[in-house]
C-alpha cells in the first residue's frame, strides 16, 4: 500500500450502552449508538448495523461512480441490506453474513455498458473488500492518565 490515509472518530459513553460518536468532520452531527434490548434501549443503531450500512453505502457509491464514469448514470440507487447474526464455534454472537440488494432506477435503455461496471464496482469498494478480507484490528485499553493497561495486535 503506497497511500495511507487515516481518520479518527471519538466515542463517549452517555449511559448504559448508549455511546455518542463524534466524527472528524465538524459539519457532521454526532451519532448516538445503542444496543438492542435487553442490553440497551435501541436509541440508535448498534455496531453490526453500522457495518452493514457501511457495506451497503460503499457498494452503492462504488456502483454509482462506475455508472457515472461510463455515462450510464441511473436516476437513483437504493439498497436493502440484511445482516445475519449467529454464534461461532465458541458460542459467541458474531455478524456472520451481509446481503445487499442494490436497485437502480431510471437506467438508460441501452444497457450494453452496464455489464462492465457490474464486474468492477465491488473490487473498488473500500469497506466491502476490507470486511470480506478481514481487517486487522489493534486494540489498546488505557486508564484516564493514558497508561496502557492492555494491548492486542491487529491480526486478521
**Domain termination site, one of 27, 45, 63:** 45
Q: Which domain holds residue 12?
A: 1-45
pTM, two decimal places: 0.88
Number of domains in the chain: 2
H-helix or E-strand containing 48? helix 47-69
Does one domain contain both 33 and 58?
A: no
Q: How many residues does the chain have?
A: 156
DSSP string, 63-78: HHHHHHHTT---SEEE
Q: How many CB atoms lie within 10 A of CB 131?
A: 17
Does one domain contain both 35 and 59?
A: no
Q: What is the CATH number of the domain that holds 135?
A: 3.30.300.20
Residues 6+ apart with CB under 8 A from 4: none
Does one domain contain both 65 and 107?
A: yes
* Contact (Cβ atoms closer than 8 angstroms) between residue 32 and residue 17: no
Does one domain contain both 83 and 96?
A: yes
| Tens-digit pLDDT string for the chain (156 aa) | 578 899 999 999 999 999 999 999 999 999 999 999 999 999 999 999 999 999 999 999 999 999 888 888 888 999 999 999 999 999 999 999 999 999 998 887 777 778 888 989 999 999 999 999 887 788 899 888 998 888 988 765
* Contact (Cβ atoms closer than 8 angstroms) between residue 10 and residue 22: yes
Does one domain contain both 129 and 57?
A: yes
Amino acid at each position: 500500500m503506497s497511500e495511507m490515509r487515516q481518520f479518527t472518530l471519538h466515542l463517549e459513553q452517555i449511559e448504559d450502552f448508549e455511546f455518542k460518536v463524534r466524527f472528524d468532520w465538524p459539519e457532521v452531527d454526532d451519532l448516538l449508538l445503542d444496543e438492542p434490548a435487553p442490553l440497551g434501549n435501541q436509541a440508535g443503531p448498534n455496531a453490526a448495523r453500522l457495518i452493514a450500512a457501511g457495506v451497503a453505502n460503499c457498494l452503492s457509491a462504488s456502483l454509482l461512480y462506475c455508472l457515472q464514469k461510463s455515462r450510464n448514470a441511473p436516476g437513483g440507487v437504493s439498497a436493502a441490506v440484511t445482516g445475519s447474526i449467529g454464534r461461532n464455534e465458541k458460542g459467541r454472537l458474531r455478524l456472520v453474513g451481509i446481503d445487499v440488494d442494490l436497485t437502480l432506477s431510471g437506467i438508460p435503455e441501452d444497457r450494453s455498458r452496464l455489464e462492465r461496471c457490474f464486474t468492477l464496482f465491488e473490487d473498488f469498494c473500500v469497506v466491502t473488500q476490507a470486511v470480506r478480507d478481514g481487517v486487522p484490528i489493534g486494540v489498546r485499553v488505557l486508564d484516564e492518565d493514558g497508561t496502557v493497561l492492555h494491548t492486542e495486535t491487529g491480526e486478521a
